[in-house]
Amino acid sequence: MESPSNHAGTPSSGRSGSLLVVGTGFMVSGQITPEARSAMETADRLVHLVSDAATRDWIERLNPNNESLYDAYAEGRPRTESYEEMVQRILAPVREGASVCLALYGHPGVFVYPSHEAIRRAREEGYPARMLPGISAEDCLFADLEIDPARQGLRSYEATDFLVSGRPVDPTSGLVLWQVGAIGVATFHRRAVWRTDGLAPLVETLRGHYPVDHEVILYTAATLPVARPEIHRLRLQQLTQPPEGVEVSVAATLYVPPAREAKIDTAALERLELALTAVGVELEHDAAC
């Protein structure tokens, strides 16, 4: 495996250990890049955390010198404790001089505290460390819902953080809220739905910006080649009591489409010498509306 020392952004102390963090995407091995797969195959130690048994089996066949971090989770255990254990287990072989590859499902830097923290500590201790990109659940959402975030813009928040931090809402752009089935939950649970009573305050907050009958989409990416993504379109007020057959799981992401078009600043257009059609706006669009 190529040494990451030239890409880590921090000079190496010359120690032999190294850390390379990769993402496996979803669909078992179907969304992994050739670069990430090569890193997993050739690492001295392959440490991994993935979401399904099929992917774990594939990883274990790919490199026999592997270790799963899944047992760091325990029912009711604070996730911060699990994450700290993971970081220590990732860094232990690095400190022993091994080239370590950490493989995580989806994108390894999206909603993954241990990957960023392990890289930070490794560099702090003088070991080269870097991350390769992967396919995240949001990338799958763009494809499955056929959304172009450049068209109307996009805001993306973890659902609990969205509520407790008073994050801004722009009804003229899309809104992505992660982990809506685990709002306010700080511990790990081995069940599909961790909590649903957090949906009431979420809906209350969103109703301040969107009509009660505004269409929202509950989305869960497919994780196996034989599966299909879960896409449920419902009205905002239905979130607290979803229709039969619709489950708000911890893996579900909520997409809230724009409620209205953004106003066009004609003075800005004139300064930029742009025509309305150049920014995808109909010529008859009234900037005052």
Q: Are residues 59 and 182 in the same domain?
A: no
Quote the CA–CA distance of 185 and 196 in Å, as a whole number. 10
Distances (CA, A) of 215 to 22, 160, 259: 35, 21, 9
| Proportion of the chain above pLDDT 70, given as a percent | 89
Quote the CA–CA distance of 151 and 174 in Å, as a whole number. 10
Q: Check pLDDT > 90 for residue 231.
A: yes
Report phi then psi at 48, rounded to 5: -145, 155
pLDDT, tens digit, for every residue of 76-131?
Answer: 999 999 999 999 999 999 999 999 999 999 999 999 999 999 999 999 999 999 99
Query: What is the pLDDT of the chain when averaged over all its residues?
Result: 89
Residue 137 token pair: 């659940």
Instruction: Find the CATH number of the domain harbouring 35.
Output: 3.40.1010.10
Q: Are residues 246 and 278 in the same domain?
A: no
Q: Are residues 211 and 120 in the same domain?
A: no
Active centre residues (catalytic): 79, 83, 105
Report pLDDT for 70. 94
Stretch 179-204: mean pLDDT? 86
Rounded-to-10 torsion of CA 105, 111, 113, 116: 80
Instruction: Find the CATH number of the domain harbouring 247.
Output: 3.30.950.10
Report pLDDT for 71. 94
Whether 217 and 176 have beta carbons less than 8 Å apart is answered as no
Q: How many CA atoms lie within 13 A of 163 on its CB side?
A: 20
pLDDT, tens digit, for every residue of 142-184?
Answer: 999 999 999 999 999 999 999 999 999 999 999 999 999 999 8
Q: Are residues 207 and 267 in the same domain?
A: no
Q: Are residues 238 and 289 in the same domain?
A: no
Choose one of 135, 168, 196: the last residue of a domain.
Answer: 135
Q: Are residues 166 and 245 in the same domain?
A: yes
Q: Check pLDDT > 60 for residue 65.
A: yes
Q: Are residues 23 and 100 in the same domain?
A: yes
Q: Are residues 23 and 124 in the same domain?
A: yes
Q: Are residues 125 and 170 in the same domain?
A: no
Q: Check pLDDT > 90 for residue 266.
A: no
Q: How many domains does the chain have?
A: 3
Q: How many CA atoms lie within 13 A of 267 on its CB side?
A: 1
Q: Are residues 249 and 148 in the same domain?
A: yes
Q: Are residues 209 and 178 in the same domain?
A: yes
Domain of residue 282 covers 262-289
